[in-house]
Amino acid sequence: MKKMNLGILLAAMTLGIASCKPAPVSEWVVFEAAPDATIYVDPSTIRREGDRAEMWVLIDYASPQPDKTGKQVMSDKLHYQYDCSGKQLSIVATSAHAGRMASGETINVNPDPPQLTPVPAGTTAEKMWQHACGDAAAR
């Protein structure tokens, strides 16, 4: 009887482990590369609703950069929201990381309230706005 219970238990554990799926992982895609940093976007985070859009961006630095507290970071992760017709953006969340690609210790998390700011023409910020807003940016 004990052997049968052990067999059932092992079978149940095996089925349970086999059915577990890993947590979703960000699929960072290069958006723009420069000698000092590479900007990535996660296409799976792009959301559009009406005249609004949002997406997550990761900036991976070639060498350590000081964050707003003066500590050295190798990457920043940012959550952008866009007003597509008003051509404005706000950064609603940021985190600064000691390692590349948002790895290692989280050095800083920005608790500042988001503020809408105009998207400057001819900048990477404008390209990101166009990417996030899609057809809405073309209007």
pLDDT tens digits along 85-95: 999 999 999 99
How much is the pTM? 0.77
Beta bridge partners of 39: 32, 59
Quote the CA–CA distance of 80 and 74 in Å, as a whole number: 20
**Structural domains in the chain, sorted by start:** 26-138 (2.40.128.710)
> Does residue 10 register a pLDDT over 70?
no
Q: pLDDT tens for residues 41-69?
A: 999 999 999 999 999 999 999 999 998 88
